[in-house]
Structure 1
Amino acid sequence: MQTRPLLERIDRDWRAAQPGLDPSPMRRVILLARTASQLARGVEQVQGRHGLNGAQADLLFTLYRSAPPEGLTPGDLASLSAITPASTTNRLDTLEERGLVHRGPDPADARSRRVRLTPAGRAQVEALLPEHLRNEERLLSVLSEAEQAELERLLLKLVNGLEGG
């Protein structure tokens, strides 16, 4: 079911089941969840054409933009990316098997490892990045630049409150 009719149905059903209940918080959370799901699906379509899923692409993008030449520790990589630390190791295993990242010893701490892009990984990011950005622009294009800025402001306010900041 499309989102707008679903939200209207939820309103009608709640009015019938609990006439005094205000279901607007439920509607808004459902709307955010469905929006996030649609955006993720749209982003992953492009990444999939490059043989990556969203988490793998995010790790490659993070290494490309944030890693010093010696790489990042897996913990630093997890904290700088959009995926959970628990997911990082499995994703790195796959990316390393494909020759896109290299995990090696940390010269400053023999107990630690550093992750860095290989030349193939750097080439993969450089091939994906322009299409990825065009796709995200397309996904957001139903909103004007001013609306996108306002959406970003409101989402930052919401996530800051949820994170306790």
Structure 2
Amino acid sequence: MSRHYEAPSYASDQDGIDERCAQWAAELPDVDTRGMGVLGRARWITLTARPPIEAVFKAHDLDSGEADVLFSLLRSGPPYRLRPTELFRTLMISSGGLTDRLNRLAKAGLIRRAVAEGDGRSLPVELTEEGARRAKEAFQEDMAVEAAMLEGLTEDEQTQLAGLLRKLALTITATKPFA
């Protein structure tokens, strides 16, 4: 098996990553570039997909961080309420970053801090009606944009790709080969 990423044999299916891998194979033939074939594309896809997704959030007067908070609350189910520590874990951000997001969302009337039953020290975060409405609309539009991005793949290919990416994510998380 080659230690280099191998581009498709027909030119119409080649992209910029194929070109970079070929250049590196010529310059440093002993360097394994297969990771670039996968991770380079993942990075390019992320960078290319973000602007249209961000545009959806902007149309709802949200940024991606605010949308993440609203979506986390919405997917938690009724009463759409989570403790800040639960939100913090799902969002993978600093506590200061979460506080800033919560303050902006509260000021916009999209969330409120509710008094927890039996624990006056804990102030769960919950969606307001407007927050739930805006989160639902933004999420539905976001998923429509993302589905359109996947139209070049069959349903089976989408399922296969999602499974392979899950396996890669779990492998990277478990082994941390970069550490």
TM-score higher than 0.5 here? yes
Identity of aligned residues (%): 29
1:70–1:114 contact (8 Å) kept in structure 2: no
Instruction: Compute the displacement of 1:100 (Å).
Output: 0.3
Instruction: Compute the displacement of 1:145 (Å).
Output: 0.6
CA radius of gyration, larger in: 2
| Aligned positions of 1:146-157 closer than 5 A | 146-157=156-167
Structure 1 residues 35, 125: CA separation in 2 closer, same or farther (over 3 Å shift)? same
Matched AA of 1:164: A
User: 2:33 matched to 1:23?
Assistant: yes
| Aligned positions of 1:1-165 closer than 5 A | 4-5=15-16, 7-69=17-79, 71-81=81-91, 83-86=92-95, 87-164=97-174
Instruction: For structure 2, list consecutive stretches of 5 or more residues without a partner in the other structure.
Output: 1-13
Q: TM-score, normalised by structure 1?
A: 0.84
Task: Give the secondary-structure state (helix, strand or coil) at the position aligned to 1:105.
Answer: coil
1:10–1:27 contact (8 Å) kept in structure 2: no
C-alpha distance in structure 2 between counterparts of 1:8 and 1:126, whole Å: 39
Q: Deviations over 1:44-96 (max 9, x none)?
A: 12111111112211211111120542721111123234x52443222111111
Structure (1/2) with the larger helix percentage: 1
Query: Which deviates the most, 16-25 or 52-61?
Result: 16-25
Structure (1/2) with the larger strand percentage: 1
Q: TM-score, normalised by structure 2?
A: 0.78
Tell me which stretches of 4 or more aligned residues in structure 1 moved more than 4 Å: none
